[in-house]
Structure 1
Amino acid sequence: MSIRVPFTGGEKESLHAALDRHRDAVLWKTEGLDDEQLRRPMTPSGTNLLGLVKHLGGAELGWFRETFGRDTGPLPFDIDADETSDMRVEPHESTADILEFYARARAGADEVIRELALEELGTSWSGNSVTLRWVLIHMTTETARHAGHLDILRELIDCGTGDHNRS
């Protein structure tokens, strides 16, 4: 059963639940596949399921942790040296490494969400002042967008579709 956004919940609770719903869909799209399937380039640019998970982990740490002056911990890429390194899974990185990175990123983002008010201001990577509310909305749409990409890639691999396990 997937997470439901509460019909009458508060704003912060509802935004967080919406993000979690899409995060769970991202993980569900990786379940039951072997390492080759998770790493298989499915587009001319090389996009693959595991690379999208890695990218989303980096986005969570950047938007929630870095924006609000929190430590991100070690990152498995160097975006300054190579702007696509967050989308690429290196041969030495295991599936477990990437899934652990995403779990750490989610936990770090959740800590910020719990501790800060929606109106709290942070500074984005581009230098703009943004509220936690804006970051929650941005990351929910970013995660939903990539969950859609994951859905298409998964369908191309094994015909699996949907945004959550219906069993």
Structure 2
Amino acid sequence: MPEPEEAVATAAERPMLEVWLDTFRDTVVDKITGLSEVDIRRRLVPSLTTVGGVVKHLRWVETGWFEYLLGARSGDTRRAHPRDWEFTVQPDDTAASLVAEYRAACARSREVAKDFALDDVVPHHEFGSVSVRWIHVHLIEETARHAGHLDILREQIEVL
């Protein structure tokens, strides 16, 4: 079976964007899978960044861009909670609950996006407007960047 990037190497744009985004979404889930509840909270860098916190943040990234901005056409990706809250694993958060919430947000994102063409444009509070294509590319970039953070955190956890 070919790797996702091989499967879409000559695909049309939409399937290519969707497969790349799903590939990085899967990587995020892979990086938290199998870690203990202690490990998902372990701070290995000076910032609030933890494995659990990154997954929690990415859940809200999905919600902000697809559900709030695209689905609700709110023009706004900002959430009512403080940004640091997204990176803070609460006592009742578990690896399983964070993965379930992230997967549910990704499923909602796919559901919202399917009703729009890549060239469709929605208002954005900072940029004026963005296309659905731009949202996909931005989510690929952000999810891949955070998957890289998770690679490093997971590596540190496994050598401790």
Summarize deviations over 1:86-139 as a string: whole Å, max 9, x none: 111111222222111101110011112222100111123436211100000000
Shift of 1:32: 1.6
CA–CA distance in 1 between the matches of 2:124 and 2:84?
19
Code of the aligned partner of 1:133: R
CA contact (8 A) 2:41 2:52 kept: yes
Secondary structure of the 1:122 match is strand
CA contact (8 A) 1:22 1:140 kept: yes
CA–CA distance in 2 between the matches of 1:16 and 1:8?
14
- 1:164 maps to what in 2? none
- The alignment status of 1:126 with 2:150, answered yes or no, reads no
- 1:83 maps to what in 2? 83
Secondary structure of the 1:123 match is strand
CA RMSD, Structure 1 to Structure 2 (Å): 2.0
- 1:103 maps to what in 2? 103
- 2:43 maps to what in 1? 41
- The alignment status of 1:3 with 2:4, answered yes or no, reads yes
- 1:136 maps to what in 2? 136
Code of the aligned partner of 1:111: E
Secondary structure of the 1:25 match is helix
CA–CA distance in 1 between the matches of 2:43 and 2:117?
40
- 1:74 maps to what in 2? none
Any stretches of 5+ residues in structure 2 without a counterpart? none
CA–CA distance in 2 between the matches of 1:79 and 1:121?
21
TM-score, scaled to structure 1: 0.84
Distance 1:22 1:112, change over 3 A: same
Any stretches of 5+ residues in structure 1 without a counterpart? 72-77, 160-167
Report the count of equivalent residues.
153
Summarize deviations over 1:28-85 as a string: whole Å, max 9, x none: 11122111111111111131101100100100110111112439xxxxxx94452211
Distance 1:109 1:81, change over 3 A: closer
Query: Where is the helix percentage greater, Structure 1 or Structure 2?
Result: 2
Question: Percent identity of the aligned residues?
Answer: 37
